[in-house]
Structure 1
Amino acid sequence: MELLEANGSCSNGSLLTLSCLSHRVVCQVIGNADPVWDNGTSGNSWVTLLETSYGFYIGLGLAIFSSFLIGSSVILKKKGLLRLVEKGGTRAGDGGHGYLKDWLWWAGLLTMGGGEAANFAAYAFAPATIVTPLGALSVLISAILSSYLLGERLNMLGKLGCMLSLVGSTVMVIHAPEDEEVTTLDEMSSKLKEPGFLAYAAILLALCFLLIFYFAPRYGQSNILVYLTICSVIGAFSVSSVKGLGIAIKGFFAGQPVLQHPLTWILVVTLVASITTQINYLNKSLDIFNTSLVFPIYYVLFTTIVITTSIILFKEWVSMTVVDIIGTVCGFLTIILGVFLLHAFKDMDVSLGNLPQVLQSGQQAPVTRDDKNILIEVDNSSIAPEDKPKALA
């Protein structure tokens, strides 16, 4: 800032120049005024400065770090269960709890907790449009680590699925919106009262109640979409609550009276209720249907509804160009294809070595069946990527 008056004084009528990176303007002093504070925060608040300058990249880094921790936790907990079997202990699938004495299993549990905390924090800095789809990276990481540390084979289609998931994630990061449209609880409260979101939320609640009380008792045991649709629809409220609580936490550190804001406690109650419902119906789905089908379908439904909710509630796509919107959609579809290849064909024995023979014979590649005990063990011990809370928030 530069003073243009010759006498160097700053009084009424004085002219000041303000220089930014790309603009230079001249302002005239017309009177005295008290300092203006926005929402009770000072202009030099470290939270405000950090979010303004690096918010998107902090959220992106936290989302990737969260996926790494959760993907690694699956391997640690699995190693703990395998060591229990080697020692002759009762398997978790048979009702045993010997894994609770293994430090490796607890290390995996703590690692997963750290991953969930990082994922929670990511929503406070980055748009849900980018944080939620990146949850697929945890499955990719666990698949890669399991092939090296657990001796589980990752076939050619699985490797291709991993590469596609990475490419899709990269495309989404490049084209996703960087700016937050909602930064305070007051702004979020206003967004929640908009007619468009109220109508959308009413439709989701009506659909959820219809599925829970009518379709679930009749078709839940035979149709995989019933339970997974319930989980996905409820996910719209859980992710919105996480996003709002992230904003509240940032406001708390910035000195705002967020604990006195009624929306904070409404979000807490909504989050607890929605996550409890999601876990209940996700466990039912995992108990009945093949895990190779549950996760890809759940990922697609859940992420699609969350992105739709973000568009309607947080207006995250308002500032995006047509090219960025198309790029984001294409990146998401690429991740879906990668997740599908990684899970749908994981039991097929397909590699570069036997691919010519498989193509020439025109027959399906040999399939290795999962051990039922292993599937039960995975589900009951909550170590499978499908059973983690990552996809819930």
Structure 2
Amino acid sequence: MENVSNLSSEDAAGGMVISQAFGAEVLTNPFHETYLLGIIISICGNVLISISLNIQKYAHVRQAQRRSKPYYTSVLWWCGVVLMGVGELGNFAAYGFAPASLIAPLGCVSVIASAIISVVFLKETVRASDIVGGTLAITGTYLLVTFAPHTSTHITAHLIQYYYVSWYFLLYLLIEIILFCILLYLYKRRNVKHIVIVMLLVALLASLTVISVKAVSGMITETIKGQLQFIYPIFYVMLVVMIVSCAFQIKFLNEAMKMFDATEVVPINFVFFTASAIIAGIIFYQEFEDLALLNIFMFLFGCLLSFLGVFLIARNRPKIKQQDRNFIPMDKIPGRRHTDKVQPEATTMTYGSLAAKLMCNRAGQADDS
């Protein structure tokens, strides 16, 4: 604890930089260029993500209308994928410059931009709920940026190790592991396929993702500035946690997209992810320490407005999972029982042949008997 006792503080007028334990620096100027840079990078990254999603959607629609090659052969679709990668990279970098409790709620910018782009370029109908939701989300974003913790911590390996062994984080981690095991038991063993169960699994993993992403991004940023962090094992521990938590988060999110419509998954995922990121930032990085009560209240109020705005924008959107209207379920044909067992596949060699007809007749006689 010699480093803690040897803390030295610089003059507040000379940049308001205070040296903390283990060489960490906290920048308390709300208009510091590092803080603003993180906000700008996050907003630009979310706008790029929304543009990429709409480009991919347009590529899917165009390929379906032309009934031509698969979507992954489209240059336009790959442009959307590249843009999404750049946007996610921007979000990753933003965690190294600004608090995690601010970067995560700024994800609502992607929803707002996507709604505007879909109306302007994809010619979707403007609804009253879109206007009200967009207004609420923009107002909430302004409150988030204004009243969020205006501190930007220089993340170092020693600081991460110090936070990692703190009793409140260990208690939080234990509670999260217990909750995750209970939810996983309900989901896998008890077969409770409720959207809240699945999205809570994603949110619990997301909290670890946010912690590890900010740690890795911050240590990379410090390395670029000249303080090498790659020599410490904690960097690689956080890198592994980031990769594993991201992989399982994507796994459960894809399962949710298969079982439920995207208009349900997107807003619930945004709310749960944002809440888990804020809690992770408060507990692990102590981002709300010494924050005024009014700032905390207005920050949470801004989050609430953003949540309501996202729900209004996503509400009553056209369902993405739509069944082909030319397809008639075989079990709905009147006067025929268990016809799903006798319908031959269109891709088989016997489709439409005498062998297929004989197979159907034999199955029908078996059913009648």
TM-score range, shorter chain: 0.7 to 0.9
Q: Tell me: CA distance 1:22–1:191, structure 2 relative to 1, closer, same or farther (3 Å).
A: closer
Q: Tell me: CA distance 1:180–1:314, structure 2 relative to 1, closer, same or farther (3 Å).
A: same
Is the counterpart of residue 63 in structure 1 residue 42 in structure 2? yes
Q: Tell me: CA distance 1:40–1:255, structure 2 relative to 1, closer, same or farther (3 Å).
A: farther
1:34-75 deviation line (CA, Å, top 9, x unaligned): xxxx9899x9xxxx9xx9941110000011001110000011
Deviation at 1:371, TM superposition (A): 6.0
Deviation at 1:213, TM superposition (A): 3.0
Specify every segment of 5 or more residues in structure 1 that has no aligned partner in the other structure, as ranges: 1-17, 24-37, 91-97, 348-368, 375-393
Is the counterpart of residue 244 in structure 1 residue 194 in structure 2? no
Specify every segment of 5 or more residues in structure 2 that has no aligned partner in the other structure, as ranges: 1-9, 16-20, 325-369
- What is the aligned counterpart of 1:174 among 117, 130, 146? 146
1:277-304 deviation line (CA, Å, top 9, x unaligned): 1111111111111222212222111211
- What is the aligned counterpart of 2:135 among 163, 174, 190? 163
Question: Which residue of 2 is the match for residue 27 of structure 1?
Answer: none
* CA distance, structure 2, for counterparts of residue 231 and residue 197 of structure 1: 19
Q: TM-score, normalised by structure 2?
A: 0.78
Question: Which residue of 2 is the match for residue 120 of structure 1?
Answer: 92
Q: Secondary structure at the match of 1:372?
A: coil
User: Conserved in 2, the CA contact under 8 Å of 1:237 and 1:270?
Assistant: yes
User: Conserved in 1, the CA contact under 8 Å of 2:137 and 2:306?
Assistant: yes
Partner AA of 2:230 in structure 1: L
Deviation at 1:113, TM superposition (A): 0.4
1:351-392 deviation line (CA, Å, top 9, x unaligned): xxxxxxxxxxxxxxxxxx656159xxxxxxxxxxxxxxxxxx
Question: Which residue of 1 is the match for residue 365 of structure 2?
Answer: none
User: Conserved in 1, the CA contact under 8 Å of 2:154 and 2:222?
Assistant: no
Q: Secondary structure at the match of 1:260?
A: coil
- What is the aligned counterpart of 2:225 among 250, 254, 272? 254
Q: Tell me: CA distance 1:195–1:110, structure 2 relative to 1, closer, same or farther (3 Å).
A: same
- Identical positions, percent: 28
Q: Tell me: CA distance 1:206–1:346, structure 2 relative to 1, closer, same or farther (3 Å).
A: same
Residue correspondence of structure 1 range 88-99 to structure 2 within 5 A: 88-89=67-68, 98-99=70-71
Question: Which residue of 2 is the match for residue 183 of structure 1?
Answer: 155
* CA distance, structure 2, for counterparts of residue 220 and residue 126 of structure 1: 38
Is the counterpart of residue 216 in structure 1 residue 195 in structure 2? no
Deviation at 1:254, TM superposition (A): 2.4
Question: Which residue of 2 is the match for residue 305 of structure 1?
Answer: 276
* CA distance, structure 1, for counterparts of residue 23 and residue 207 of structure 2: 30
User: Conserved in 2, the CA contact under 8 Å of 1:181 and 1:315?
Assistant: no
Q: Tell me: CA distance 1:189–1:22, structure 2 relative to 1, closer, same or farther (3 Å).
A: closer
Is the counterpart of residue 131 in structure 1 residue 103 in structure 2? yes
Deviation at 1:177, TM superposition (A): 1.0
Residue correspondence of structure 1 range 191-340 to structure 2 within 5 A: 191-221=163-193, 223-340=194-311
User: Conserved in 1, the CA contact under 8 Å of 2:98 and 2:152?
Assistant: yes
Partner AA of 1:283 in structure 2: N
* CA distance, structure 2, for counterparts of residue 142 and residue 266 of structure 1: 35
User: Conserved in 1, the CA contact under 8 Å of 2:216 and 2:235?
Assistant: yes
User: Conserved in 2, the CA contact under 8 Å of 1:158 and 1:345?
Assistant: no
Q: TM-score, normalised by structure 1?
A: 0.73
Q: Secondary structure at the match of 1:124?
A: coil
Question: Which residue of 2 is the match for residue 385 of structure 1?
Answer: none
Deviation at 1:180, TM superposition (A): 2.5
Give the CA RMSD over aligned residues: 2.8
* CA distance, structure 1, for counterparts of residue 259 and residue 189 of structure 2: 14
* CA distance, structure 2, for counterparts of residue 207 and residue 239 of structure 1: 18
* CA distance, structure 1, for counterparts of residue 323 and residue 51 of structure 2: 22
* CA distance, structure 1, for counterparts of residue 215 and residue 102 of structure 2: 16
Question: Which residue of 1 is the match for residue 66 of structure 2?
Answer: 87
Question: Which residue of 2 is the match for residue 352 of structure 1?
Answer: none
Question: Which residue of 1 is the match for residue 322 of structure 2?
Answer: 372
Aligned length: 309
User: Conserved in 1, the CA contact under 8 Å of 2:23 and 2:159?
Assistant: no
Question: Which residue of 1 is the match for residue 6 of structure 2?
Answer: none
Partner AA of 1:271 in structure 2: M
User: Conserved in 1, the CA contact under 8 Å of 2:101 and 2:278?
Assistant: yes
Partner AA of 1:138 in structure 2: S
Q: Secondary structure at the match of 1:74?
A: helix
- What is the aligned counterpart of 1:102 among 68, 71, 74? 74
Q: Tell me: CA distance 1:19–1:116, structure 2 relative to 1, closer, same or farther (3 Å).
A: closer
- What is the aligned counterpart of 1:76 among 27, 44, 55? 55
Q: Tell me: CA distance 1:39–1:321, structure 2 relative to 1, closer, same or farther (3 Å).
A: closer
* Bigger RCO (CA 8 Å, 6+ sep): 1
User: Conserved in 1, the CA contact under 8 Å of 2:199 and 2:256?
Assistant: yes
User: Conserved in 2, the CA contact under 8 Å of 1:233 and 1:305?
Assistant: yes
Question: Which residue of 2 is the match for residue 386 of structure 1?
Answer: none
User: Conserved in 2, the CA contact under 8 Å of 1:177 and 1:319?
Assistant: no
* CA distance, structure 2, for counterparts of residue 293 and residue 60 of structure 1: 28
